[in-house]
Structure formats: structure tokens, C-alpha cells
Amino acid sequence: METEVINKKDLIKMNPVFGQLSFDNHEQVVFCNDKDTGLKAIIGIHNTVMGPALGGTRMWNYNNEWEALNDALRLSRGMTYKSAITGLNLGGGKAVIIGDAKTQKTPELMLRFGEFVHSLGGKYITAEDVGMATSDMDLVRTVTPFVTGISEEKGGAGNPSPITAYGVFMGMKAAAKYAFGSDILEDKVVYVEGIGNVGEALVENLSNEGAKIYISDINRARLEEVRDKYNVTIYEGDNLCAEEMDIYAPCALGATINDATLSQIKAKVIAGAANNQLAEEQKHGLLLREKGIVYAPDFLINAGGIINVYAELENYGKKEIIRKTENIYNTTLEILNNAETNGVSTHQAAFDVAQSRIDARRLKNSNGQLN
């Protein structure tokens, strides 16, 4: 009998959702389509054991729908672990809208998207991510209560990016303490890749501390704008990873730590805001460990934003937001030490703590159901 050989790519095509490499037992994946507004969105709900799945909406001009689905799956899973490691009663979710936020985002499209979020009855709560602004969330709020990241004028906690940046700064300091014996970043050479909302706010924190900052971005106008405000140098080369530096801060998109870059990275510490920095978590996490590079796990140190929006659900104020965000310093140090003790990558160490919290809650929830 002839054996049919089916390659991996064909298998993924035949099993487009549950067969995706990024599929990780997601509870629900919702495809939203609206002909009139041109909305095409995917909402990934990874896990709701700890609470409703909260995560931002990203609007991006994906090359194809596979990329969009992959992003929704990867990002929503990341949110599960981010909230669990931060100790928040939230599950993990994320939405992606396919399209160019600059030219295709209309109020009608955002309202229709809000209605789709509403139809999930609070199982998914949205917020802003790349391509979204606080004003978009204010608009979504007019059709559903299941949205956070609302402006302060409308009673929300406002733009989460400065808090995200502050958390990244705390995580970076902890990683510096671990790697260099001191958390003072004065004169440390730091490369910030991507100077959008979070990147610029991180530059401000670093600049106040007297770090030697290099910035890179694909948007030249942004580079010049930020250079005019802070004491920074624009990186003019085309292979940032290969530069001599103390700290690399990825603050653009994910997967910048990959097979191609890993062999070149000279940084002693990696600490940045971008989600999913490791192209392959297991493999690249371990390779970083072998190379002696101290990697502060992204989902741990970029949790400031979710701490900020969670305040809207739990009604806590700025003081508590700052306290919880500053605690990222302690958690990062603990995780870095755990990784060393257990001989695992720092990513794995953070993941294990988050997973054990989710497992404990699952058990508690099911015991509650039995009693």
C-alpha cells in the first residue's frame, strides 16, 4: 500500500484552527466579520480559569489571515500567563483587527467591533494595544461595558503605556542588579528598539537615570521627535543586535530573539516591552541561558499596562497601580534566582510559577463546583 506523506504545512491547512502551531488549548476563538464596515477581527480566548479573559485589541496590516490568527492565538496565551504571574484575577484573551489602523480604522468599524465584544457577555474584556488609542476604547465603551483602558475624563485609568514602561524599567533594574550587582542604570549602554508609546516613556525613565541611550525605529519622524526631547543617539546601523551594549530593550514587535539574532546578541541583559520576544520560547529561552544573557521575561515585566487597566475593574487608584507595578522589581529578581536554582530558562521559571497558580485555581474552582 502506498503511504501518503503529508507535510506539516499541509496539515496546518487541513486543520486551520486547532492544528495551528500556536494553538494551545484555547477555550474559544471568535471570527468577526462585518461587510458594511469592512471589519475582520479575531478574538482569542485562551483561558478563563483565573477570571474573564482580558487583553488588548491590536490593529495591524497582516500579510495574510494565518498571520492574524497566529498573532491572536499567541498573544491571548501570553495574557493568561501575564495576569497569572502578576497575581491578577484575570484570564487571557486578545483581539486582532486585520487592517491598517492609519487608513482603515473608522468609528463605525470600532463600534461594530465593540458589539462583537459585547456579544461574548463579559467572557472577553478588551483594551488597547498596537494601533489603538484611548479614544478608541472610549468609543467602544458606548456599546459595551466590557472594555478597559478608558480615558481619565471618562472615568478610566487612562493610557496604560507610561505604566507599562515604568514596569519594564523596574524589571530592567532588577535584571541589572542580577547581572551587574547594581540596579543603577547610570552610564549603562541601553538600546531601545521601537520608540512608540511604551518605548518613548521607557526612554524618559532611562534618561532621568542617566543611561546612555540609543534609539531605533522604522519611523524616522518618531526618531527625530524623541531625539529632540531627550539626550539620546539615533542608531543609524541596520543590525542593532550585533552592537556592543549592556542592555537590549525590544519595544517594537515580537520574535526579535530568534535563530538569526541569537548568535549575534552582545547585550548582557534583555529587558523590553514587546510581547512574545522569543521566537521559540523553549529553544531560545535555553539558548539565552547558555549564552549567559540575563533575560527578563516579557510577560512578567510588561504587565504594568494590565495592572493599570485592572484598576478600572477593581476600583483601585494610582497609588495601588504604582505599588503593584514597582513589585515587578521583586518578582523579576525572584524569577531570575529561581531559574538559576532550578537550572531552567528565566522564561520557563516565570511560566512555571504562573502555571502552578492557574492549576491551583482550577482545582479550587472544581472543588467549589463539587461542594
How far out from the chain centre does Cα 159 lie? 15
Distance, CA of 43 to CA of 28 (rounded, Å): 8
Q: Three-state SS string across the chain, please? A: CCCCCCCHHHHHHHCCCCCCCCCCCCCEEEEEEECCCCEEEEEEEEECCCCCEECCEEEECCCCHHHHHHHHHHHHHHHHHHHHHHCCCCEEEEEEEECCHHHHCCHHHHHHHHHHHHHCCCCEEECECCCCCHHHHHHHHCCCCCECCCCHHHCCCCCCHHHHHHHHHHHHHHHHHHHHCCCCCCCCEEEEECCCHHHHHHHHHHHHHCCEEEEECCCHHHHHHHHHHCCEEECCCCCHHHCCCCEEEECCCCCCECHHHHCCCCCCEECCCCCCCECCHHHHHHHHHHCCCEECCHHHHCCHHHHHHHHHHHCCCHHHHHHHHHHHHHHHHHHHHHHHHHCCCHHHHHHHHHHHHHHHHHHHHHHHHHC
Q: Which is nearer to ligand NAD, 129 or 209 (CB)?
A: 129
Q: Which is nearer to ligand NAD, 83 or 161 (CB)?
A: 161
Q: Of residues 129, 204, 209, 312, which one binds ligand NAD by CB under 6 A? A: 129
Instruction: Note whether 44 and 73 are within 8 A (CB).
Output: yes
Dihedral sign for Cα 78, 84, 87, 89, please.
positive
Q: Of residues 205, 302, 331, 346, which one binds ligand NAD by CB under 6 A? A: 302
Polymer length of the chain: 371
Each residue 135-174 as x (binds ligand NAD by CB under 6 A) or -, in order, gives: -------------------------xx--x----------
Q: How far is the CB of 214 from ligand NAD (least distance, A)?
A: 12
Q: Which is nearer to ligand NAD, 144 or 161 (CB)?
A: 161
Q: Of residues 51, 199, 285, 297, which one binds ligand NAD by CB under 6 A? A: 199
Closest residue to ligand NAD, judged by C-beta, is 196
Q: Of residues 47, 80, 216, 261, which one binds ligand NAD by CB under 6 A? A: 216
Q: Of residues 111, 253, 255, 353, which one binds ligand NAD by CB under 6 A? A: 253
Region of 30-38, 115-123, 218-226, 285-293 interacting with ligand NAD (CB under 6 A): 218-226
Region of 59-67, 210-218, 338-346, 347-355 interacting with ligand NAD (CB under 6 A): 210-218
Q: Which is nearer to ligand NAD, 38 or 196 (CB)?
A: 196
Q: How many residues bind ligand NAD (CB under 6 A)?
A: 25
Q: Of residues 251, 265, 278, 287, which one binds ligand NAD by CB under 6 A? A: 251
Out of 8, 40, 82, 94, which one is annotated catalytic? 94
Q: How far is the CB of 355 from ligand NAD (least distance, A)?
A: 20
Instruction: Note whether 186 and 173 are within 8 A (CB).
Output: no
* 195 scored as a contact of ligand NAD (CB under 6 A): yes
Q: How far is the CB of 102 from ligand NAD (least distance, A)?
A: 11
Region of 5-13, 271-279, 320-328, 337-345 interacting with ligand NAD (CB under 6 A): 271-279
Instruction: Note whether 257 and 251 are within 8 A (CB).
Output: no
Q: Is 105 a catalytic residue?
A: no
* 72 scored as a contact of ligand NAD (CB under 6 A): no
* 217 scored as a contact of ligand NAD (CB under 6 A): yes
Q: Which is nearer to ligand NAD, 94 or 180 (CB)?
A: 94
Q: Which is nearer to ligand NAD, 52 or 254 (CB)?
A: 254
Q: Which is nearer to ligand NAD, 139 or 303 (CB)?
A: 303
Instruction: Note whether 242 and 263 are within 8 A (CB).
Output: no
Q: How far is the CB of 290 from ligand NAD (least distance, A)?
A: 26
Q: Which residues here bind ligand NAD, judged by CB under 6 A?
A: 129-130, 160-161, 164, 193-199, 216-219, 222, 251-253, 273-275, 302, 305
Q: Which residues are catalytic?
A: 94
